[in-house]
Structure 1
């Protein structure tokens, strides 16, 4: 985010909230690693990993959505940011503000040497579960769940989220976080309580999303209480909208997207009146 913040030096905040958000990003821009984006000459939608959110903290939002809109005629900008449980939920917030869900599905490539250690010291995988910025979806099922989240509108209400277990308890192989949602889909009647379990696989730098629906919140939370990092049972294999067994699907093709380019003041000109 350093380049994006620096590029706004010649622009003025359009309101107090924009000034506050810029100050937040200005203090520690390196904490926000952009992983997906959509942009035009006057507007940008960014999905970022929040590297300031330690993985050991329970209930931590590890992603953020950032929306920047420029007003070239007034030389002002409007900037908003919202923290989120996952990349997909950050994307959901941005889609509600006008972003394309397809554009935000194209993740940027992970840097070849994300830790900057250089060969032969560069590790394989992630050093810690908090290095969420360097993880990408691990299978087609995860991509499908993420796409549904981004497009879900007001379908879901977040009831709670927390760390399920840490990398330390799994021998450094993986860590997991859960989110419990209330599903308002008409065909989800009888299975309103949707549990999403996100697992970060440290050794191959990927994450996967599994989910299952329950008739009651109590049943969902009882399943959460039984989570064990040594032997993780999958959630009930049901489609959260219909309650039917989920059919096998082919993995979706993943695009790495294009590198993020911050706004450059000299390329945006006001129109003559």
Structure 2
């Protein structure tokens, strides 16, 4: 694989298994994609899973999701393949989509060096929760802002929540620091969530089930913000990312600076 990523999925001798895959191949254009994380099965290479940033979306509909999840399954006995793609506001939701299609969570979790780093342990914890959520979260809406503010949010319905089942996952990027944070907020209904997103007239409401270590992580993150310095992720929790050896070239979404 080169630095940009080789999007040749080795399909030349295979035929699309269905009309949806044939259409997906026709529409697929790798020239605007930058891979963020990937996993390919061995030894026969029957499956490929990729999370990529699509730069072309920045010139399209404002607020549209820019992270593409790509799943390729090859049937090497029938010489056919299926190809699916799906867009998401954040890498963690794209990873969750791929996990739902058979990709091991730990294999797709690591994001390449050179991208924005998570600012604290709580961000890592929330991302892992999303990545391993299965069908728990029904995505209702999302929005991506390139600048001022640099953020994304994903509005969901949490089927596992006993209280406040509408959840907002809010990601904010600090371009100067080369880091980002991810937080989860809980609301009684969609209207309340949209009101908060529109006004931002208070802190993101904490999910009622947060307790124990999660409360400690939230408190640590709040103290770090008040001190003007982001907390470094603990090695015991950071099992999915490799620290960057140099300055971040683009945020976790893959946008080139």
TM bracket (short chain)? 0.7 to 0.9
* Match of residue 224 from structure 2: none
CA positional deviation for 1:94: 0.9
Q: Does 1:100 align with 2:104?
A: yes
Following superposition, the deviation at residue 156 of structure 1 comes to 1.6
Deviation at 1:206, TM superposition (A): 3.0
- Structure 1 position 108, deviation (Å): 1.9
Q: Which piece of structure 1 moves more, 151-160 or 1-10?
A: 1-10
The alignment yields a C-alpha RMSD, in angstroms, of: 2.7
Distance 2:79 2:179 in 1: 41
Change (3 A) 1:13 1:199: same
Q: CA 1:56 to 1:72, structure 2 compared with 1: closer, same or farther past 3 Å? A: closer
Q: How many residues align?
A: 218
Q: What is residue 196 of structure 1 aligned with on the other side?
A: 169
Task: Show structure 2 runs of 5+ residues with no match.
Answer: 218-232, 244-257
**Structure 1 residue 4, shift from structure 2 partner:** 2.7
Whole-Å separation in 1 of the counterparts to 2:59 and 2:203:
22
Q: Name the CA distance, whole Å, in 2 between partners of 1:56 and 1:141.
A: 32
Match of 2:151 among 154, 165, 176: 176
Confirm or deny that 1:90 pairs with 2:90: no
**Which whole-Å CA distance do the structure 2 matches of 1:2 and 1:242 have between them?**
40
State which structure, 1 or 2, has the greater radius of gyration over its C-alpha atoms: 1
Match in the other structure for 2:36: 35
Matched, 1:75 2:79: yes
SS at match of 2:110: coil
* 2:188 equivalent to 1:215: yes
Match of residue 247 from structure 1? 215
Give 3-state SS (helix, strand or coil) of 1:8's partner.
coil
Asked if the contact 1:69–1:77 (Cα under 8 Å) also holds between the matched residues in 2, the reply is: yes
TM-score normalised per structure 1? 0.70
Long gaps (5+) in structure 1? 111-133, 258-273
- The alignment's TM-score, normalised by the length of structure 2, stands at 0.74
Any idea what SS the aligned residue of 1:9 has?
coil
The equivalent residue for 1:144 is 125
What aligned pairs does 1:35-54 form with structure 2 within 5 A after superposition?
A: 35-40=36-41, 41-54=45-58
Partner-residue secondary structure (3-state), 1:89: helix
SS of the residue corresponding to residue 59 of structure 1 reads coil
| SS class of match (1:70) | strand
Which residue of structure 2 lines up, in the alignment, with residue 116 of structure 1? none
> For 2:10 and 2:33, how far apart are their aligned partners in 1?
16
User: 2:226 is matched with which residue?
Assistant: none
Matches within 5 A, 1:223-238: 223-227=196-200, 234-236=203-205, 238=206
Question: Equivalent residues in 2 for 1:16-31 (5 A)?
Answer: 16-25=19-28, 28-31=29-32
Change (3 A) 1:59 1:45: same
Matches for 1:98-177 after TM superposition, within 5 Å: 98-110=102-114, 134-163=115-144, 166-167=146-147, 169=148, 175-177=150-152
Cα pair distance change 1:35/1:78, threshold 3 Å? same
When residues 70 and 56 of structure 1 are mapped into structure 2, their CA distance, relative to the original with a 3 A threshold, is closer
Deviation digits for residues 150-176 of structure 1 (CA, Å, limit 9, x no counterpart): 22122222222224x552x3xxxx511
Indicate yes or no: 2:242 matched with 1:256: yes
Q: CA deviation at 1:95?
A: 1.0
